[in-house]
Chain A
Amino acid sequence: MRGYRALIRATARAALTYRFNLLLGLGAVLVQLVSLLAVWRVILADSPVNGFTWPQMRAYLLVAFAAGTMVSLMGDFRMAFRILDGDVALDLVKPIDYQKARFAEAVGGLWIEVVLIGVVVGITLAVTGGVDTPAGSALALFAVSMLLLVPLKFLIVYVSTLTCFWTQNFMGVQWARLAVVNLLSGALIPLAYLPGWLATVAQWSPFAGLTSTPALIFLGRVGVREGLQLVAVQLAWVVVLWFGARLVWRAGLRRLTVNGG
């Protein structure tokens, strides 16, 4: 445990060193926030659509932004390069679990992401007006959902990065993942707007937990009972992916060839 805590501390300190990378990674999410805010402000100016009013949609987009910014600093690129050029061999000889170590690094970067979320959300609220915060129980459930988002997002990125054992093309895999997550998580558009079958698929996929679940709970669009159910799905995926990732890792290791040096 001490080893992992040290990793968390080290990443937390290093986070500032990579602040430009973070801002760059944030760029896409930020641009999406600005354009979607502008789009929905026009659309919802007169009347609500699909039950969403403008203040609700604004809150939804802000939660989506926060959710999209969490765990974006975790250094998946570094992990990919270490697998691709064989440096991962050095990680293998370290007396700590590889997956837990990477998770510790993701957790270490969280603080700077939370600071950035605070700044952007603060500015947006100042410019466009406030949002209604939900009642106590919903707020607690929202907090739990946001916490579960951390391991869930880590695991999705982690598993997709492990594909580097099979392909040289990390970029392609990342683009595909970002695109699929953007749609199926509800970050691009609330799942209620998608065609029924697609919305159902997305709802039960691990991706819904990355935006839709915390956002719907925050908006109070789901009751406490239904909210609990959604959070349970989130938790189930965390467990499944945690152990699934171990299988992928083991399979990947068998494919690993490192040339001596």
Chain B
Amino acid sequence: MRTARLYLRLLGAHFRSLLEYEADFLILAVATVLMQVINIVFLAALFAKVPALNGWTFWSVLMMFGLVALAEGVGSLFFDGMWSLAWQINRGELDYYLVRPYPVVLQSSSARIGINGLSNIVMGAIMIGTGIAHVDIGWNPWLVLLAVVLLISSVVIKLSINLATNAVSFWLTSPTPMFAFALHQVGDLARFPLSIYPVALKAVLGVALPFAFISFFPVAYLLDTGQSRWVGLLTPLVAAYCAGVAVFVFKRGLRRYESAGN
């Protein structure tokens, strides 16, 4: 509880300094909204000409896009500091974190706030909401609960992949998170139904880097579409596994940390 409260205070400090630059704040927010709007225009234009993509309708693909946007948004708004981990290691900034009585990983991830995350969360929620309103799901209390669990798991998977790939910087010692960013871009493939890809890509997105569990499998389960809807039920397990691996990688990396030395 105390950990969470302190975390929000750390972020709050960055948030207040951000508000000093109002125009910048607006530009970033508008740019992120624009990116999502253009995604929607693209999907609408595509599905205006074809009824479905491998059995997936406009609304279901919209939900997948929304889930990716939402997970990405949570990552930027609350954990953007992860993306500066490479810089922190390179500059030896972790020295300060190591002597403070607060988990290093949380100090690192709260080192920055990405206000673009706010618009991604809002746009993602709108896309998911609109999608859900237009599809036929037999809702009951259990399914609602399950949907919430799936949503949380999806966000946890994205955060874990962010943390694990950024923690690789402990070994690469480059000042920029090239590796993490490259994999982040691969994650954009998972905005489309997994079934359209060749087998090798399916294996990568479903098993090696489980991006498909952020968007595709949860939606497939809820909408009861596709051949393997039960896989969606594994999402919480995958989330737990990813979180475990991420923490493990970070801890092993932290042991290698040897400051900048000056």
Q: Do A and B bind each other?
A: yes
CA–CA, A117 and B54, complex, Å: 30
CA–CA, A233 and B262, complex, Å: 58
Q: Which one of A38, A50, A188 contacts B42 once the chains associate, using CB atoms below 8 Å?
A: A188
Segment at the A interface, from B103-111, B187-195, B229-237, B242-250: B187-195
A126 at the interface (CB under 8 A from B): no
With both chains docked as a complex, state the minimum distance between the C-beta of A94 and any C-beta of chain B, in angstroms: 28
Q: Is the CB of A31 within 8 A of B24?
A: no
CA–CA, A42 and B186, complex, Å: 20
B48 at the interface (CB under 8 A from A): yes
Binding site of A, secondary structure by majority: helix, strand, loop or mixed?
Answer: helix
In A177-195, which residues have CB < 8 Å from any B CB?
178-180, 182-183, 188-189, 193-195
CA–CA, A9 and B41, complex, Å: 42
Q: Is the CB of A193 within 8 A of B28?
A: no
Tally chain B residues at the interface, Cβ within 8 Å: 34
Segment at the B interface, from A140-148, A163-171, A239-247: A163-171
Segment at the B interface, from A20-28, A95-103, A211-219: A20-28
A34 at the interface (CB under 8 A from B): yes
Known: A42-B196, A195-B45. A180 touches B34 (CB 8 A): yes
Q: Which one of A39, A168, A182 contacts B38 once the chains associate, using CB atoms below 8 Å?
A: A182
CA–CA, A183 and B35, complex, Å: 10
With both chains docked as a complex, state the minimum distance between the C-beta of A126 and any C-beta of chain B, in angstroms: 14
With both chains docked as a complex, state the minimum distance between the C-beta of B62 and any C-beta of chain A, in angstroms: 14
Known: A24-B181, A31-B186, A42-B54. A169 touches B27 (CB 8 A): yes
CA–CA, A105 and B35, complex, Å: 29
CA–CA, A28 and B32, complex, Å: 16
Contact residues in A for B27 (Cβ distance below 8 Å): 167, 169, 172-173, 176
B132 at the interface (CB under 8 A from A): no
Q: Which one of A39, A169, A172 contacts B196 once the chains associate, using CB atoms below 8 Å?
A: A39
Interface centre among A35, A42, A49, A195 (most CB of B within 10 A): A42
Q: Which one of A28, A176, A193, A198 contacts B49 once the chains associate, using CB atoms below 8 Å?
A: A193
B197 at the interface (CB under 8 A from A): yes
Q: Is the CB of B45 within 8 A of A169?
A: no
Q: Is the CB of A176 within 8 A of B31?
A: yes
Between A and B, 18 residue pairs with Cβ closer than 8 Å are A27-B181, A31-B186, A34-B189, A38-B198, A42-B54, A49-B50, A167-B23, A169-B21, A169-B27, A172-B27, A172-B30, A176-B27, A176-B30, A180-B38, A189-B45, A193-B45, A193-B46, A194-B45
Q: Which residues of A contact B (CB under 8 A)?
A: 20, 23-24, 27-28, 31-32, 34-35, 38-39, 41-43, 49-50, 167-169, 171-173, 175-176, 178-180, 182-183, 188-189, 193-195, 198
Q: Which residues of B contact A (CB under 8 A)?
A: 21, 23-24, 27-28, 30-32, 34-35, 38, 41-42, 45-46, 48-50, 53-54, 116, 178, 181-182, 185-186, 188-189, 191-192, 196-198, 201
